[in-house]
Amino acid sequence: MNPREANFYVDDRVSEGVFRVHRDVFSDPEIFELEMKYIFERTWVYLALENQIPKPNDFVTAWIGRNPILVTRTPAGKIAAHLNICPHKGVQLCPVEQGSTKFHVCPYHGWAFDASGKNVDIKDAKAANYPAAFNAISHDLMPIARLASYKGMIFGSLSPDVPELETFLGDMKTFIDLAMDQGPHGMEIVPGRATYTYRGNWKMQMDNAMDQYHLTSTHVSFMDVQAKRRSGSGNTEARQFDWDKRLSQEGGMFSFPYGHTCLWLNQPEVEKRPIYPVLDEVRSRVGDTRAQWMLKGRNSLFFPNMQIADSTTLNVRTFRPIAANLTEMRVHCIAPIGESPERRTWRLRQFEDFFNPTGLATPDDTACFEAMQRGYAARPYEYLQGYYRGMEIVQQGPDATARELGVNPATSLRAPFDSNCETSMHAAYREWSRLMGAGFAGKKAFE
Ligand code: FES
Ligand SMILES: [Fe+2]
């Protein structure tokens, strides 16, 4: 391939009022291959929550791009992450999402590995007549290059050449805090998850959580159902929101280095948030400002593969690119450890309503993604026009809202909900372009 300059794909000329993304970014299989190499395999990627693997030998599987990863709690209680690939003939070793086992045994020829990735058995090794050169090489699972956690969220990198995780996250740590500090005893994944694939590019989901503009057209039926339920019929446990009240609220966005962004919205019906009844306790731990921020709607994107969404209910969404036109989603509802059954039920009903693949909102989004993917096969259009809203009011650096929260974003914007800014997607494409450009030029991703 002879790729064009990265700035051909992301035409970032904000001083001239232009921010355009080329449609090939979503549909070209060669671009997809390069994204795996230059983005997913060269930066930090979210893997799992630490408390998915609380005890020795617990494991959870994850992905870094197309690389299957096995995240384990070792017998010594440490967190480890290895390529989930048997070194013998390359079989994906552990086929399930989560569990606990002392030994991972390969289904093909039976090699076995312990929870620290060590090869503990090569079947029939004595009769194998292996040459000395074979005995001299490691048969253990391959550890990933970097592994680190922040507030119980585990990130990994296949490349050693990445900044420290805390540097990579920067002030986005605050938005992890706003999710992970909601419970006095920490946060946990509510058992189960929603998972589904859609026939569209991974960046459609990346954009979608930063896209308020679609709400009043894509999710009309969800809003209508909620309006009916507020009259007292049907699912009342979910404390149905009144979306009309939200549409007049103030909101905004902050963007940060390395492609991360948070979109926020003042929420009028704070009493419908499951942490509302325990807000005094929360306030006593995190202070008034942060407690108030926990009630706001927040959609945070941690480039390239994870979102913490807390606008209808708190959840972590990861997207796994499989092909240019195929993506797998996993959505985990997270909740305070030890919260009351009543609040847990309330939270779960809100989660199911919106985020389940059979919910009232997610299928509308995925139907649009698939329609976009079909549209991207068409010519002669080249550039999308979906990144311009709000460009006139973006300010460099922190605004007063950012200062109040104590974060220092690269750009800020504050505007009523119905201005529906699309600048919330710029940082991710800027980072996309930076990483792809470094790759095209044969340079390191991080200097
Ligand atoms: S491929 Fe795993 S033991 Fe052969
Ligand atoms: Fe949506």
Closest by CA to 307, choosing from 357, 259, 371, 353, is 259
Q: Which fold has domain 45-148?
A: Rieske Iron-sulfur Protein (2.102.10)
Q: In the chain, which residues fall in CATH 3.90.380.10?
A: 170-440
- Residue 81 in contact with residue 70, Cβ under 8 Å? yes
201 Cβ contact list (under 8 Å, min separation 6): 25, 26, 27, 32, 321, 324, 325, 327, 369, 373, 376
Nearest CA to ligand 1 atom 3: 109
pLDDT of residue 3: 56
Please choose, from the candidates 410, 211, 277, 415, the residue with its C-alpha nearest in 3D space to the C-alpha of residue 294: 277
- Distance, CA 141 to ligand 1 centroid (Å)? 12
Q: What is the CATH number of domain 170-440?
A: 3.90.380.10
Q: Ligand 1, closest atom to CA 91?
A: 1
Q: Is the pTM of this model over 0.85?
A: yes
For CATH 2.102.10.10, the residue range(s) in the chain are 45-148
For ligand 1, the distance from its centroid to the CA atom of residue 102, given in whole angstroms, is 18
Backbone phi, psi, residue 333, to 5°: -85, 130
Q: Give the number of the ligand closest to the Cα of residue 124.
A: 1
Q: What is the per-residue pLDDT for 236?
A: 81
Q: Which helix (H) or strand (E) holds 197?
A: strand 194-198
Residue 10: strand pairing partners: 21
Atom of ligand 1 nearest to the CA of 86: 2
Q: Which ligand is nearest to the CA of 89?
A: 1
Which of 88, 93, 105, 140 should be mutated for ligand 1, with most atoms under 8 A from CB?
88
Pocket lined around ligand 1, Cβ cut-off 6 Å:
86, 88-89, 91, 106, 108-111
Q: How far is the CA of 230 from the centre of ligand 2 (A)?
A: 21
* 195 CA from centroid of ligand 1 (Å): 28
Amino acid in the structure at residue 92: Q
**What residue owns the CA closest to ligand 1's atom 4?**
109
Residue nearest (by alpha carbon) to ligand 1 atom 1? 89
Q: What does the pLDDT read at residue 1?
A: 38
What is the position in ligand 1's atom list of the atom closest to the CA of 110?
3
447 residues of the chain, pLDDT tens digit each: 345 788 999 999 999 999 999 999 999 999 999 999 999 999 999 999 999 999 999 999 999 999 999 999 999 999 999 999 999 999 999 999 999 999 999 999 999 999 999 999 999 999 999 999 999 999 999 999 999 999 999 999 999 999 999 999 999 999 999 999 999 999 999 999 999 999 999 999 999 999 999 999 999 999 998 898 888 888 888 888 888 888 889 999 999 999 999 999 999 999 999 999 999 999 999 999 999 999 999 999 999 999 999 998 999 999 999 999 999 999 999 999 999 999 999 999 999 988 888 888 999 999 999 999 999 988 888 999 999 999 999 999 999 999 999 999 999 999 998 899 999 999 999 999 999 999 999 999 998
